[in-house]
Amino acid sequence: MSQKRVPFQDPDSPTDIMTQVVLPFDKSLEISIKSLKSRFLRNMVTVTSLILAVSFLGYVLVGSDITNGLYNSGDASLMKALEKTGYEPGGSAKERWIVILSLLVCTVGIVNAQLMAVTERFREIGTMKCLGALDSFVLRLFVIEASMQGVTGSLLGALFGAVIAILIGMLRFGFDAFTMLSFNEVGISILYSIGVGFGLSLLGVLYPAYIAARMRPIEAMRVEE
């Protein structure tokens, strides 16, 4: 724990606020974990939103990996099955639009979840600032919480989307959808989905958390829950 003197104050003044407490990172992490536990149900809603958004992206990407693997196998029967689905080598305009749409859905879902998670805690932020919390401390708490939510939601969502894509592929094309699959490409798609979900989770929380951290305590306390 470190201490910092407030500028423009007289050290000898009896009314002077001599120091502000700057908590270390491990203490911030402890507070963030306790906050997540105390708001477990609300955080589950946020994480579930992250899972659904990222799983859609993971499903689209892994589904594309499955069709590419079947096409690269060169099997005539599989080629006919792919033609019936409208598959085009190298990706069609429809497929690209589906990927763009999945990214859009992922972005909106994650940003909305994080925005709601921050705005409903304005009064809590006002209380912390009344107790002397610095703007940077408030922002750090929300970034840590968003990071933990982002990692959990993105990981579960990417894995869930990949599993669903593989199961549907096996229903449509048989066990060949699994045997012809390149697991290196699937791994890249899963990592990409996790990275997108985690990044958007942080971006979604930064602006509202920054605005909330900069609010005057009295203004934050006036916000109705």
Q: What is the pLDDT of residues 18-54, one digit of tens each?
A: 455 566 777 778 878 887 787 788 788 888 888 888 8
Total domains in the chain come to 1
The helix (H) or strand (E) run that includes residue 171 is helix 135-173
Least confident of 36-45, 81-90, 95-104: 81-90
Residue 15 lies in a domain: no
Residue 18 lies in a domain: no
Cα–Cα distance for residue pair 75/162, rounded to 1 Å = 24
Residue 21 lies in a domain: no
More confident residue, 63 or 20: 63
Give the confidence band of 13 by pLDDT, cuts at 50, 70, 90: very low
Residue 9 lies in a domain: no
User: 140: closest CA among 28, 225, 20, 34?
Assistant: 28
More confident residue, 181 or 161: 161
Q: What is the pLDDT of residue 221?
A: 67
pTM listed for this prediction: 0.75
User: 1: closest CA among 38, 41, 34, 30?
Assistant: 30
Share of the chain above pLDDT 70, in %: 79
79 token code pair = 């080629």
Burial of residue 163 (CB within 10 Å: 0-12, 13-18, 19+) is: middle
Range of 105's domain?
A: 27-222
Residue 6 lies in a domain: no
With vertex at residue 220, the alpha carbon angle to CA 216 and CA 223, rounded to the nearest 5 degrees, is: 150
Which amino acid is located at 30 in the chain? E
pLDDT digits (tens, 9 = 90+) for 179-202: 888 888 999 999 999 998 898 888
User: How do beta strands 2-4 and 20-22 pair?
Assistant: antiparallel
Residue 20 lies in a domain: no
